[in-house]
Amino acid sequence: MDNGIQTKLLRHEEEEVDGDLKVRVWNESKKIWRVALPGVISRVCAFGTIVVTQSFIGHISDIDLAGYALVQTLSVRFVNGILLGMSSATETLCGQAFGAGQHHMMGIYLQRSWIVDLFTLTVLLPIFVFGTQLYRLLGEEPSIAISGGYISLWFIPFVYNFVFSLTIQMFLQAQLKNMVIAWLSIFQFAIHIPLSWLLVYKMGFGVPGAMVALSISSWFLVIGEFIYIFGGWCPYSWKGFTVAAFKDLVPVVKLSVSSGIMVCLELWYNAVLVLLAGYMANAEVAISAFSICLNINAWEFMISLGFLGAACVRVANELGRGNAKAAKFSIKVLLGTSIAIGLFFFVLCLVFGKKLAYVFTDDEQVAETVADLSLLLSFSVLLNSIYPVLSGVAVGAGMQGIVAVINLVCFYVIGIPLGALLGYLTDLQVKGIWVGMICGIVTQTLALVYLTWRTDWDDQVKKSLERLNRFYVKSSDNPEEISN
């Protein structure tokens, strides 16, 4: 092992975590919320801009609502899943480097992720350029496919923000500096609503106006992040652009690919289900209702993603510091907190589930279909409070490959076939597809619980140190320690 890493890790020998339980829970909760709260705010606001755009488009035309839902759920979710998954490799590496005191390595990891993600997104661009042909090939109704293909072109400038916004958020989150992203996201959401109203209604640009507003507000966030990093607010983790970012890309790509597969299999799961809904008798209503419920579920899921990020950071930091005992305790507190929040939103969806559809549409048939799904939506929201935290634990420990296999089996061997059977061979229709989705998630949750329970965390500490040593780049810099 490199002497530099070994010396720093010896200063972080396993801390004593015995003592009063209330005090320990309180201290760990403060550490969790320091990461989770900004992550929750930023993700809820960022995804909120997509939901607001859907609401504006839904009041323009039902066909465009279905087309937007098709693009957002299939193409955008497909690309976002790949980039989010690949960016989670940045979260693993930066979190463990920060825990080990190797702060100067974080900027190099960030630049490597930009290179890999930019190349990946450019390769995937034909998904948006040939949207109409793709949706027709998948068997969607011609009118919906044409609308989706037109809207997909407007999504191109928007999706490029993912390359920077996702990676920078994980870079700042790993060093507990992501509050700035929360403030930028709040401002992004605040300007998006009046900007959408101005372009859609006041200036009469319709669908193009809604999509331009989405791109402008999303890039506002990225520009703010650039100003923060390049402006000197990350003096230890950002040392400027360096040719070292182009070195040792293969190991980063390998970890990014395993991370990407893990997240993609999860996010594409919903996309495949929307595709199945598109083959129903009344495809326009089925797609619109199903996508509305999925977006409500996904919006609440942004809260869970905040805890996923907190789980990744806390576990990665403690493993990087050589503290297995603290990592295990953090997992318990994370799960308890997230489940409590999940129960709150479970009740909320039960009470107001039937009224949510009218935020997105004036179509009574779509609203009725959403109302029929409200109970299933509530259970999905509850499950959101468990499995994302466990996925975050796996990311923090670098176990993305194992979770990818779990997601593949639970979602694509169990969930989708079961949903298709219930949706097409029974009278449940869209409800049957959603029941299959829940069964897949329940199976995945149980598998992740077993994985976390059976993991040897002392062994994970050793693997973390080996990973840091493998990715370590010798540098003449000798940055100061930042208080953790």
pLDDT tens, residue by residue, 289-301:
777 787 788 778 8
Residue 338 falls inside a structural domain: yes
**Structural domain of 332:** 24-471
Nearest to 386, CA basis, from 440, 449, 326: 449
Torsion, Cα of 276, 280, 282, 288 (10° steps): -20
Residue 29 falls inside a structural domain: yes
Position 428, amino acid: L
Place of tokens 């507190």: 333
DSSP code string of 375-397: HHHHHHHHHTTTHHHHHHHHHHH
3-state secondary structure at position 16: coil
| pLDDT at site 278 | 67
| pLDDT at site 267 | 66
DSSP code string of 164-186: HHHHHHHHHHHTT-THHHHHHHH
| pLDDT at site 138 | 81
Residue 89 CA to residue 333 CA, distance in Å, equals 24
CA distances to 58, 330, 378, 384 from 336, in Å = 37, 10, 19, 13
Cβ atoms of residues 292 and 156 within 8 Å: no
pTM: 0.74
Residue 408 falls inside a structural domain: yes
Residue 9 falls inside a structural domain: no
DSSP code of residue 356:
G
248 CB-contact burial (10 Å; exposed 0-12 / middle 13-18 / buried 19+): middle
H or E element, residue 208: helix 206-228
Residue 13 falls inside a structural domain: no
| pLDDT at site 262 | 67
Other C-beta atoms lying within 10 Å of the C-beta of residue 471: 19
What domain count does the chain have? 1
Residue 15 falls inside a structural domain: no
Residue 441 CA to residue 146 CA, distance in Å, equals 33
Place of tokens 């989705």: 437
Q: What angle do CA 129, 71, 265 make, to 5 degrees?
A: 105
What would the 3-class secondary structure string for 236-293 be?
CCCCCCCHHHHCCHHHHHHHHHHHHHHHHHHHHHHHHHHHHHCCCCCHHHHHHHHHHH
Cβ atoms of residues 390 and 453 within 8 Å: no
Give the chain's largest Cα–Cα span: 68
| pLDDT at site 188 | 93
- Mind listing the pLDDT tens digit for each residue in 383-432? 888 988 888 888 777 787 788 889 889 988 998 899 889 888 888 877 88
The structure tokens listed for 442 are 């329940």
Give pLDDT < 70 ranges for the chain. 1-19, 258-260, 262-263, 266-268, 270-271, 274, 278, 280-281, 283, 353-354, 467-484
CA 380 to centroid of chain Cα atoms: 16
Residue 190 falls inside a structural domain: yes
Place of tokens 């990946």: 120
| pLDDT at site 16 | 45
Nearest to 91, CA basis, from 170, 165, 35: 170
Residue 1 falls inside a structural domain: no
3-state secondary structure at position 480: coil
| pLDDT at site 480 | 39
